[in-house]
Each structure stands twice: as structure tokens, then as C-alpha cells.
Amino acid sequence: MSNRRRAWTSFLIAAAFLSLGTHVSANATPLANFSRSAATGNPPLEVRFDASASQPSGGRIVSYQWGYGDGYTGSGMAPTHRYAADGTYTVTLVVSDDQGGRDVRSCLIHVSGPAEVYPFGTKVGQAAPTFELADLAGKTVRFADLRGQVVLLEFWVTTCAACTKSLPVLAALRDRYQDKGVVLVGVTIDRKAQDAAAFLASAHLNITCLWGSQDASRAVMTLYGVEQTPHLFLIDRIGVIRYSGSSADFTNKEIEPWL
């Protein structure tokens, strides 16, 4: 195992309690936070990180550990890292204090000229939470693997009339822009996978439909803060939410700026 891989593996183990795409705090001390500078130079692009906004509470921060998302790790309150290529990376900061407290902050950073940071969340302008869920054939789909495509993510159920009405409309939009990298992914919260499969077959809809189990689907629904169906998210090529709301209000005008 290379030194780089060994260091990255050790960092991932140290931050194992972090669920990717969330901000997790085991206790109130300390609070991890960071900012970044604009990227400078041609590849490799240099980005300076600054964790001085992290807040101790009843203790003193004694350690800042970084995972830069490209297999490299670092330490210190204000390190500089050089990215070998343009891209989108998940940057993770782990801070520890002198009382045994520890906190983790994870953000999506897009490096291409100026470095843009998108905290994970469920609002427009935030990085979409990542998850894994089985499709109707039982194959696990990793949402992060869809990066690089424009994703229409629809939460639906066969007992919802508005859902069964909106899916064919979304499928038609997908077909219109499929050659530009648009994909349609449905997360159904049906009790049985057969119910969703039967509807898709009867409506002649060919979409990636995720289920796993009703509990697993509901967990993803909760992760995205969805309270009722149908609910649609448009997620751009780097994983940032650009639309969140009713499927009925979604038109080609919402999708075209992100193609």
C-alpha cells in the first residue's frame, strides 16, 4: 500500500462516524467550520483553507485534520493544498479539543479557477446529500456515481395521483434532453417493489427506480427533508441542487440553464 493510500485510509477510519453530506457533532465541543480562498494558478490549482472559524466551547482546539477529497490529507488551522486537476471534491475537516471533544464538517468544493464551496443540505444552492439504495432489480445504486450528469430526482408513490401524472411528464423531459446528460431517478415509498414495477410497466416508463425497502426509501426521503409526494429535485453536474419543489411547476425553463 502506498504512503498516500495509507494516509487516506487512516483518515477515513478516523472520521468513520461521519455520514457523508452531513455535519455531525458528538457533543457541543468544539464546532468545526472552515472557509477557502479562490483557486490560483493553472493546474495544479492551489486552494488555501482556513479553519479559524471553528469554535471551541469549554476547551481549546488542539488538532485540525483535513481530507481534501483527492486522496490526500493534511493538518493545521490554515493549510494550502494543490489540486492536480479541475474537479469536484468532498473536503472534510476534523477538529479535536483538549477535553476529548471532536467534530466534523464536510463540504463539496468545486475547483476550476475560483474554488466554490457548497455545504451539503437540501436547499437550492446546497450540495445534494449522497446515499445508496437498491433499484427494483436489487442492484445497489450509488447516488454519487451520477455526478457529471443532470439528475431529476423524484420522490413518488403509486397511490399518489399527482405522482403517477407527473412521472410521464418528467420522463418526456428526460427523453428530450437525454443526449445532453439528463437522467431521471425515482425513489418510490411503496410498500412493495412489485407495486412500483407494475405501474412503470403499465405506463411504459423506463426510468431508474430505487426502493430497497419501504423503510430504506423513507430514510432517503427524510434525508432530503421531503414531507409529501411528489417532490422533485434538479441536481446539476457537480451535485448541487438547482430546483426543489412541485413536479407540476417544473418545466424545461428550469432545466435548460444547467445542461
Interval 41-74: pLDDT, tens: 777 888 999 999 998 877 889 999 999 999 999 9
Buried b (16+ CB within 10 A) or exposed e, 45-58: bbbebebeebebee
Predicted confidence (pLDDT) per residue in 127-145, tens digit: 999 999 999 999 999 998 9
Residue 252, amino acid: N
Instruction: Tell whether the model's pLDDT for residue 20 goes beyond 60.
Output: no
More confidently predicted of 92 and 17: 92
Question: Which of 189, 180, 127, 136 minimizes the C-alpha distance to 158?
Answer: 189
CATH superfamily ID and name for 3-119: Immunoglobulins (2.60.40.10)
Residue 2 is predicted with a pLDDT of: 60
Helices (H) and strands (E) in the chain, counts: 5, 16
Residue 243 is predicted with a pLDDT of: 97
Q: Is the dihedral of CA 218, 221, 227, 231 positive or negative?
A: negative
Predicted confidence (pLDDT) per residue in 216-225, tens digit: 999 999 999 9
Three-state DSSP class for residue 171? helix
pLDDT averaged over the chain? 88
Instruction: Tell whether the model's pLDDT for residue 186 goes beyond 80.
Output: yes
Chain region(s) in the chain for CATH 3.40.30.10: 132-258
Q: What is the helix (H) or strand (E) element at residue 7, kind and residue range?
A: helix 3-14
Three-state DSSP class for residue 191? coil
Instruction: Tell whether the model's pLDDT for residue 240 goes beyond 60.
Output: yes
Three-state DSSP class for residue 85? coil
d(CA 247, CA 171): 12
Chain region(s) in the chain for CATH 2.60.40.10: 3-119
Kindly report each contact of residues 35-42 with a partner whose C-beta sits within 8 Å and lies 24 or more positions away, as own/partner: 35/117, 36/91, 36/109, 36/115, 36/117, 37/115, 38/113, 38/114, 38/115, 39/83, 39/111, 39/112, 39/113, 39/114, 39/115
Instruction: Tell whether the model's pLDDT for residue 5 goes beyond 60.
Output: no
Instruction: Tell whether the model's pLDDT for residue 6 goes beyond 50.
Output: yes
**Average of per-residue pLDDT across 233-244:** 95
Cβ within 8 Å of residue 77, ≥6 positions away:
50, 51, 52, 64
More confidently predicted of 102 and 25: 102
d(CA 198, CA 179): 27
Domain boundaries 132-258, CATH class: alpha beta
Lowest mean pLDDT among 3-12, 220-229, 230-239: 3-12
